[in-house]
Structure 1
């Protein structure tokens, strides 16, 4: 997610060809072990990114975030001059004079209503490098400091400019040791990052699956990609959502650790928008085997976590049509 709208150029055909052999034949049929669940995260959850900036979407205070969202990811933390270290700067001016005290109070109110509020690190322009032991330590220490200062429940990893699985794993394990079992840990990789379990992002997710809440891959701004059957699917279709989710579901992540990330409105992304009913059909296909397109998984995954959107602000600007449709559907999954 970026501060203008949402990112990334389409994947080229050559990349798909190179990945085809990696995707086909990967699957051993296992779905991994379930994650240790965290405080306030329901079995089926909706994640939404809240924008700490004004980019043309509807400006919201955190307290304005729609009630259908179970996990609210505050976008974004800012890098400092120290490698791996992050901080948070509330855009009070851009948000109409929203104060830090009001922001902290709104976090507490959302938590009292059973929501989780986490700090997101990254976005298209968020260059945070965790590539050695020192930066891993700086990352864990600084995120934990933000959790204590603001009351965040955890962290979202939305790094779109490269990721070192060895040191990001080290950082997240260290953070979990500080924060304890209540840590909410989410990830929002791009589609290309989750095409194979040998990719650095995927390797990180698998390495921290004992503390991982959900991976909400971004099923947009990518162009066509490979599904788990080795076929190419076009973004903006139910097959794209189900065929790509299958890769994660059959390569080590528990169904409860897999979510579908989509734009809340056509204006929220450069491509890949789908109507809310397509999201609901994809969830039904994965959870119950109904609503599928041409691709139908060989099994169902009733514990699939749910869905994510960029952003609560774009959703609000469209009359909250996305959360009103997808939220109740996610919460009614078996």
Structure 2
């Protein structure tokens, strides 16, 4: 497993319904963990406010990229995605996609590993993502969990990665996923990063990710909910919000503040209009949402009951789409993250 960068340690030591217009409404003050620093986030030495992006290990209409081509704005990169291994139930596998290699004029596993190591030396962390729109994982038996843990351990060690990203967008076994994540954390130790990218429906009260988050809250690094490809959703103030607005983002992020510390919560948005079927917003909307959560400024109708200055940051799908769109997203949002309290 990749060891935390010295620079990070030094830094740590140094420091569709249409809503009608209405007056801003303050949310109730969230009790519990909201502004308490999390042990998991502290042990994983990311910047206080970070930008996460997914690197596509496949070819679509976005720009194909080598890892060495990833813009320096990104603090954490999720490799998308490990695939199910048909030869071993529950196990996963990963290698450079052959079509991607062809599109890049040749890109080998050895080159990928070297690129990851070089980026890590510059301060970027890497996690292996499972799931995505087309991926699924069945961990309903102890043997499947064992196969998954063994195979993911091999991948992480082989590529020198920093942790696991759970992006399961279909049904999954909560107990099995909980056990697998804890076994990986126990194997790699407190620097192991655990991130999640649930869809909005799954983090509504009673949603399938809520129990998983409860089970793993003490070791979660970041949950970056996907605030796109979504219907209208309830916010923590029990009002209905439609995607594409500051309120849709902030009022739902507020739901997780009852379960996680603010430094474990990030905002997931598309990097370009073509990156998602719906829910794209201009980077300025993302920065307004950050300001609203961090300092209760630049809010829409929804205003948090208190500022959450340690809000973790932003995730985007994807780095490839960001580069295709001239890195407008990562430049704007990345620069703004540096201005947060």
TM-score, structure 2 length as denominator? 0.87
Measure, in 1, the Cα distance between the counterparts of 2:120 and 2:65: 17
Q: Counterpart in 2 of 1:79? A: 84
Structure 1 residue 56 and structure 2 residue 61: aligned? Answer: yes
Deviation at 1:94, TM superposition (A): 4.0
Q: Counterpart in 2 of 1:211? A: 219
- Superposed CA deviations along residues 146-190 of structure 1, whole A, max 9, x for unmatched, are 011111111100000112221111110000011111111110000
Structure 1 residue 291 and structure 2 residue 306: aligned? Answer: no
Q: Counterpart in 2 of 1:264? A: 271
Deviation at 1:83, TM superposition (A): 2.5
Number of equivalent positions: 310
Judge which range, 221-230 or 93-102, deviates more. Answer: 93-102
Structure 1 residue 314 and structure 2 residue 321: aligned? Answer: yes
Structure 1 residue 66 and structure 2 residue 74: aligned? Answer: no
Deviation at 1:128, TM superposition (A): 1.3
Preserved contact between residue 178 and residue 216 of structure 2 (Cα < 8 Å) = yes
Preserved contact between residue 28 and residue 305 of structure 2 (Cα < 8 Å) = no
Preserved contact between residue 52 and residue 95 of structure 1 (Cα < 8 Å) = no
Measure, in 1, the Cα distance between the counterparts of 2:165 and 2:28: 27
Preserved contact between residue 40 and residue 114 of structure 1 (Cα < 8 Å) = no
- Give unpaired runs (5+ residues) of structure 1: 1-11, 14-24
Measure, in 2, the Cα distance between the counterparts of 1:318 and 1:300: 32
- From 163, 188, 197, the counterpart of 1:188: 197
Ranges of 4+ aligned residues in structure 1 off by more than 3 Å: 25-28
Measure, in 2, the Cα distance between the counterparts of 1:150 and 1:322: 28
Q: Counterpart in 2 of 1:277? A: 284
Deviation at 1:39, TM superposition (A): 4.3
Structure 1 residue 253 and structure 2 residue 257: aligned? Answer: no
Deviation at 1:28, TM superposition (A): 6.1
Preserved contact between residue 49 and residue 309 of structure 1 (Cα < 8 Å) = yes
Preserved contact between residue 191 and residue 217 of structure 1 (Cα < 8 Å) = yes
Preserved contact between residue 35 and residue 254 of structure 1 (Cα < 8 Å) = no
Q: Secondary structure at the match of 1:119?
A: strand
Structure 1 residue 175 and structure 2 residue 180: aligned? Answer: no
Preserved contact between residue 84 and residue 129 of structure 1 (Cα < 8 Å) = yes
Structure 1 residue 243 and structure 2 residue 251: aligned? Answer: yes
- From 36, 39, 43, the counterpart of 1:35: 39
TM-score, structure 1 length as denominator? 0.89
Q: Secondary structure at the match of 1:93?
A: helix
Deviation at 1:27, TM superposition (A): 8.5
Structure 1 residues 28 and 68: CA distance shift in structure 2, 3 A:
closer
Deviation at 1:31, TM superposition (A): 2.3
Q: Counterpart in 1 of 2:102? A: 93
Task: Give the root-mean-square deviation of aligned CA atoms.
Answer: 1.7
Deviation at 1:300, TM superposition (A): 1.1
Preserved contact between residue 84 and residue 128 of structure 1 (Cα < 8 Å) = yes
Structure 1 residue 304 and structure 2 residue 306: aligned? Answer: no
- Superposed CA deviations along residues 51-91 of structure 1, whole A, max 9, x for unmatched, are 01110101110011111110000000010122221110211
Preserved contact between residue 51 and residue 75 of structure 2 (Cα < 8 Å) = yes
